[in-house]
Amino acid sequence: MTYTSTLIGYPYIGEDREWKKALEAFWRHELSEVDFQVKIKNIRLSRIEKQLQLGIDMVTVGDFTYYDRMLDTAVMFGLVPKRFNWQGGKVDLHTYYSIARGNKTAVASEMTKWFNTNYHYIVPEFEEQTLQITENKVLADFLEAKEAYGIIAKPTLIGPYTFCKLTKGYNKVTQVEYLLAILPLYAQVLKELVNAGANWIQLEEPSLVTTLDETEIKLVQEIYAQLAGAVPEAKIMLQTYFEALTSYEAIMALPVQGFGLDFVHGYKGNMESLRQFGFPKDKVLAIGVVNGRDIWRSNLAEVNSTIQAIETLSNAVALWIQPSSNLQHVPITTSLENKLDPVLKNALSFADEKIVEIVEVTKFRRDKDGSTIHNLSESMKAIEALKNHPIRQNQVIHQAVQTVTIQDFERHSDFSHRQKIQQQALGLPLFPTTTIGSFPQSDEVKRNRNAWRKKQLSNEAYEAFIELETKRWIDIQEELDIDVLVHGEFERTDMVEYFGEKLTGFAFTEKAWVVSYGSRCVKPPIIYGDVAWAAPITVKESAYAQSLTKRFVKGMLTGPVTILNWSFVRDDLSRKDVAYQIALALRKEVEALENAGISIVQVDEPALREGLPLRKEDWGAYLDWAVNAFKLATSSVKNETQIHTHMCYCEFNDFIEPISALDADVISIETSRSHGELISSLQVNPYKKGIGLGVYDIHSPRVPGEEEILGIMRDSLQVLESNQFWVNPDCGLKTRKETETIAALANMVEATKSLRQEVKQSITR
């Protein structure tokens, strides 16, 4: 048996986000194209150097990008939407970034979540363009690595099935045309790589782990038969990740030389398939055995036994040992973290540490002389130490989660009863107007916060400033005549971090960035201990705001599922149990707000939908506990207290039922970009509770006119009852400018008043 250590891919953002900084400087015209290219090349090469230093046997190239790898692939084949007026030839950087980010005359291509990750890719658009190879960038990367380090790297590409599957713009007829055009181009790219001396080529096909029907399997077979026919000399590693294969036998019959399987997220399914069907003789098996998606150190003794088991079942000629997915989903290295609890830090493994794990276990399999055994048990000790950490021994919380009962999820009365009581208690007008929570964070707000963080501003002075800003915006909202007010969230930077900092069990890193989309990076908190409520989190700000006005001010919390989904989460408890811990903590906060005289509490769950598992058949199990976690957080209040929630970035068509199951009195949702679709799905699946359909898009500085908003509201009223309809923008207004915010909200309120008039007239008529 031969063993090779390798990676599916490695992060490209740089230890100190050098990549992000270079891109943004280039966009701001602070870097010339030449200087930008020099910087980018350095980053690209230093990643390879790092992998070589850490001892990876087979380095991967083509996993680097200037923005997004789906976009790279589209551009490589000349799939440039016509609105960007590209004239053929090499796609210049200006055009490339226009597709990603839009320009003065053309809107950007759509962006969507990459499978079940928090990464978002650019959706390729097929407009029946003539396809052509504009530039073989993977080849360039391959040659660059060969020249710089004398290595034969493994080039990687998004595979043809996944790429085509994720492209939009074709129908059943044009799909054939599309495939016929694109496959020869794929073949040519492969051929050029082989001619340049490439040995193995990795084609990434994550779409193969979704549930495939018969026509889809046929398509996969045809695609690979064509490719193999066109370039029989190419050695293809067909790489899958994020789940087990659903059509194992059919995939194993494809004419390629190797298969990559995920033995972390797809452990059960792939093991079962190996046991049942074995592995094709004479082919290479690449096994993802170290989690490429989480930040925890692997138990190397366990990894070693997994490999052993796979060896026995597969009889493969050679094994590649690798992380379960591209490492772009994890931060780069723990070595930059100087403030973490040492027990936690020692149990962490980011990209570089994962490489060390892979290299170590590969060596151990290879040598088998016992010399490395010590290192394998080292990891176990680190995991054990974290397990015994006092932060994980909160018996009160453990007990509370274990004893949650069905009653704890339910409000005192059902919605229809509560609705009447709330109407009386709150006395809101028809079509109440409100906003989603945050108001513009001006430069002044940011300046004050930074000064306070650097201790140049005292707590008192900072809090006084926040109060002043809150008061200013309460006045603005009254002036605008909005019905339900918010305090504005000036004290918060990030909606998860703010709560994490005030609950127990969270850790915050200094440099653990991961890419979210384009150059945008996020630094998720780490939930490593038991989560508990220690003291009121938001009560002071909400109560202060409420004291300034006779109108109702909404309390504003981030929901348990969103806190969970936007964090790195401990892996010794189920996600459900961690969600319930957070929910129980938030339940106390909701009660504290109620006790402080807040009558409306909004609990945001923008990330509820993105936690959905890859396969539809697994949705139910997730939704069961996710919905219950929300209800656990919100259900202890009086009937009079109105619970709101908010969601965004969401396709609602298949999601109305779970939304309704949350049993929130009012939900506000982002819809202005997909308004028509939502209306038609509400026609099919009526929604009965309070609902605020975003009446304008807050992602653009454009101020919507009164008539335009009125039009959207009239449409909505065709599928909604008057007494359930709320009026609000799409999402929080944090990133907008003050003047455009006020202008847009003024139009929103005016439009609402006209609508009330219209409805009144139609009733009296």
x/- site string to Zn ion, residues 574 to 603, per CB under 5 A? ------------------------------
Interface region with ligand GLN, contact rule CB under 6 A, candidates 105-113, 175-183, 286-294, 730-738: 730-738
The torsion angle over the Cα atoms of residues 29, 74, 59 and 12, rounded to 10 degrees, is 30
Distance from the Cα of residue 370 to its chain's centroid: 42
Interface region with Zn ion, contact rule CB under 5 A, candidates 106-114, 246-254, 624-632, 731-739: 731-739
What value, to the nearest 5°, has the Cα angle with vertex 514 and ends 19 and 522?
Answer: 100
Per DSSP, helices labelled H in 28-136 are 33-54, 69-76, 93-101
The minimum distance between CB 670 and Zn ion, in angstroms, equals 6
The minimum distance between CB 732 and Zn ion, in angstroms, equals 6
| Nearest position to ligand GLN, beta carbon | 732
Among 206, 266, 560, 732, indicate the residue that binds ligand GLN (CB under 6 A). 732
- Residue 729 as a binder of ligand GLN (CB under 6 A): the answer is no
Residue 604 contact among Zn ion, ligand GLN, none, beta carbon within 5 to 8 Å by kind: ligand GLN
Instruction: Specify the residue, 488 or 606, whose C-beta has the smaller distance to Zn ion.
Output: 606
Instruction: Specify the residue, 559 or 704, whose C-beta has the smaller distance to Zn ion.
Output: 559
- Residue 487 as a binder of ligand GLN (CB under 6 A): the answer is no
Cβ partners under 8 Å of residue 710, min gap 6: 751, 754, 755
Residue 438 contact among ligand GLN, Zn ion, none, beta carbon within 5 to 8 Å by kind: ligand GLN
> Which of 121, 97, 106, 107 lies closest to 673, judged by CA?
107
Among 23, 58, 495, 709, indicate the residue that binds ligand GLN (CB under 6 A). 495
Instruction: Specify the residue, 244 or 731, whose C-beta has the smaller distance to Zn ion.
Output: 731
Cβ partners under 8 Å of residue 513, min gap 6: 13, 17, 331, 332, 521, 522, 523
Q: What is the DSSP string of 365-423?
A: HHH-SSTTHHHHHHHHHHHHHHHT-GGG--HHHHHHHHT--GGGGS-SS-HHHHHHHHH
Decide: 720 and 691 in contact? Cβ < 8 Å. yes
Q: Count interface residues toward ligand GLN (CB under 6 A).
A: 13
Decide: 487 and 556 in contact? Cβ < 8 Å. yes
Instruction: Specify the residue, 124 or 611, whose C-beta has the smaller distance to ligand GLN.
Output: 611
Among 153, 319, 347, 648, indicate the residue that binds ligand GLN (CB under 6 A). 648
Interface region with Zn ion, contact rule CB under 5 A, candidates 474-482, 555-563, 606-614, 704-712: 606-614
Cβ partners under 8 Å of residue 75, min gap 6: 91, 96, 99, 134, 135
- Residue 495 as a binder of Zn ion (CB under 5 A): the answer is no
Q: Map the footprint of Zn ion across residues 642-661, applying CB under 5 A.
A: 648
Q: Map the footprint of ligand GLN across residues 424-483, applying CB under 6 A.
A: 436-438
The minimum distance between CB 489 and ligand GLN, in angstroms, equals 6
In the chain, count H helices and then E strands: 27, 22
Alpha carbon distance 82, 191 (integer Å): 29
Among 607, 731, 744, 748, indicate the residue that binds Zn ion (CB under 5 A). 731
The torsion angle over the Cα atoms of residues 407, 410, 412 and 418, rounded to 10 degrees, is -170
Neighbours of 707 (CB within 10 A): 11
- Residue 556 as a binder of ligand GLN (CB under 6 A): the answer is yes
Cβ partners under 8 Å of residue 332, min gap 6: 11, 13, 14, 15, 350, 351, 352, 511, 513
The minimum distance between CB 749 and Zn ion, in angstroms, equals 20
| φ/ψ (deg, to 5) at 760 | -60, -45
Alpha carbon distance 452, 286 (integer Å): 51
Q: Map the footprint of ligand GLN across residues 707-726, applying CB under 6 A.
A: none
Among 606, 611, 694, 704, indicate the residue that binds ligand GLN (CB under 6 A). 606
Instruction: Specify the residue, 246 or 434, whose C-beta has the smaller distance to ligand GLN.
Output: 434
Interface region with ligand GLN, contact rule CB under 6 A, candidates 56-64, 175-183, 420-428, 727-735: 727-735
Assign residue 64 a region: left if phi > 0, alpha if psi is -120 to 50, beta otherwise?
Answer: beta
Decide: 399 and 577 in contact? Cβ < 8 Å. no
| Active site amino acids | 699
Q: Contact positions toward ligand GLN, by CB under 6 A?
A: 436-438, 489, 495, 556, 604, 606, 646, 648, 731-732, 734
Q: Contact positions toward Zn ion, by CB under 5 A?
A: 606, 648, 731
